[in-house]
Amino acid sequence: MTLQWGYKRAFVRCALLFVAGTALQIVFGDLNNEFLRYPWGLIIALNYLYLLVLIHFQKDRWKWLSQLADHYACTSALASMVVMTIIFGLTRQDPATEGLVGTLGFSRMTSSWAFNLLLLYFTTTTGLAVMEDLQHIRKRRVAAVLSHLAVFVVLVAGIFGSGDKLRVTVTLQKGTPSHWGVSREGEKVDMPFVLTLDEFRMEEYAPKLYVLDAMTERSSREFLSVEEVGVEATIEGWQLRVVENLDMAGHMPESDEYRAMEHMGAAPAVYVHARNVRTGVEREGWVSCGSFVFEPSYLFLDDRLAVAMPRREAKHYLSRMNIVDEDGQTRSVEIEVNHPARIGAWRIYQMGYDTERGRWSDVSVVECVRDGWYSAIHIALWTMLAAGVVMFLTAGGRKVAAKQRKEVKR
C-alpha cells in the first residue's frame, strides 16, 4: 500500500525539519532556553498565538498555509513526535556529547534542536486544528474540542514556560535547617522556605549472593536471593545453601563470627554452606556486604572463586521533614520518589541519600523545582481528564442513536 501524495509531502516536511535541527545541533550545540525566562517567554507565547490566529484566517488565501492545518500535517507531526519520544525513552539522558547519539543531541533530548523544532511544528498543527474546532464548535463534540484545547495548552506551556523552570538541588543534614540550594549551573539559590530533615527511612531488597572471580574481578550472572533460611542455588559449579541469615549484624575486631545487633552501621550477614558439585569439596562461613563500620566478608571457595554479597539495593526510601514557609507556617511532610511535596509554585522531589551509609544515612538529597506555568498545565490536564470521562459516558448514547436511525431507515 503506497502513501497518498499528501502524506508523502507532510512526512517530507517533517524530515526536512529533522535535518535542519540536526544541522543546527552540530553547528551551534544544545538549544539554550534562557531567552524564554519571564517576561520574554510570555511575550513570545502571546505573539505565537497571534501568529496562529493570522494563519488560521489567511489559510484559505494561501495554499501553503492551509497545508499546515490539514489532517496530513497533523498525522505526520504526531507520528514524528511519537518516534522522537520513543528515542527519548530508549536513550540514556546525560550531559555526554561523545559519539553519534551525543552529537545529534539524543542524550540531551529536551535541549536538542531537532526535537524542539518537531515539537513546535506539532504544537502549531495542533493549535490550528483547535482553532478550526472552535470556529465550528456547533458541529463538533464539545468534549473532543476541550480535550484538543487542553493538549494545546499543555504543549504551549511546556515550550514557552521551559525557561522559567528552576531546578535546585538541596543536600539536607538531619536536624540542620536549610533555605538554599545549588542550581544546575552551579549557582547558589535562596529559596522562599526552610527545609529541615527529621528522619530518613529506607527499605532494601533481600541480600544477593554471587560467585566472584578474584582473578578477573567479575561476578557470576546467576545469584542467590536470600529470602529465607534454607534457600539454595547452584552457581559456577558450587551449590550454595543459606544456613543462617541476619538482617542486622556485626562482629568483634578479633573475631569473624557475626552476631545480631541493633546498632548504627550494622550490616546484613549470611552463613553459607557451599559444596562443589563435581568434586564434593565443601566450604562454609559468613558472607557480608559490610558497611561504613564493618569491612565486607567473603567465603573463599578455592584459589580463584569466592562467595560475595554486594551492597543491598534500595527498594523504597523517603524523607520526613519540616517545611517553614514565608509566613512562618510549619508543616511536616513525607517525600519519596515520584511522590513530591508541594509548597506554592515549588515541588520538592526525593533525589538521593548518602549511599555509603545506606539505611543509616543522615543525609537526604532533594530537588526543588519551580514552574510558573504549572497552574495552566494543571488546569489543562484536569480538563483533559474530564473531557475523556464525558466522551466515555456519551459514547454508548451515540451508538444507541445510530442503531435507532438504521432501524428507522429499514
Task: Please say if the pLDDT value at position 2 is more than 50.
Answer: no
Task: Evaluate if residue 270 carries a pLDDT over 90.
Answer: yes
Side chain identity, residue 152: F
Distance CA 70, CA 128 (A): 9
- Higher pLDDT: 320 or 110? It is 320
Among the residue ranges 46-55, 206-215, 309-318, 372-381, the one predicted with the least confidence is: 372-381
pLDDT of the residue at 1: 43
pLDDT at 96: 59
Distance CA 78, CA 356 (A): 45
pLDDT exceeds 80 at position 400: no
Widest pairwise Cα distance in the chain: 96
Cα separation, 159 vs 78, in Å, equals: 16
Global pTM value: 0.63
Q: Closest Cα to residue 122, out of 85, 72, 70, 76? A: 76
Phi then psi for residue 150, to 5 deg, are -65, -40
Q: For residue 178, list its beta bridge partners.
A: 195
Alpha carbon distance 149, 376 (integer Å): 12
What are 232's three cell numbers?
539454595
**In terms of C-beta density within 10 A (0-12 exposed, 13-18 middle, 19 or more buried), how is residue 89 classed?**
exposed
Return the higher-pLDDT residue of 335 and 37: 335
Q: How many residues does the chain have?
A: 410
Question: What is the spatial distance between Cα 147 and Cα 140, in angstroms, rounded to a whole number?
Answer: 12
Q: What is the mean pLDDT of residues 149-176?
A: 87
Average pLDDT over residues 171-187: 88
Say what the alpha-carbon torsion angle 100, 101, 104, 109 is, to the nearest 10 degrees: -170
Residue from 316, 287, 353 nearest 205 by CA:
316
The Cα–Cα gap between 117 and 319 comes to 39
- pLDDT confidence bin for 171, thresholds 50/70/90: very high
Mean pLDDT (whole number) for 93-116: 80
**What is the predicted pLDDT for the residue at 398?**
52
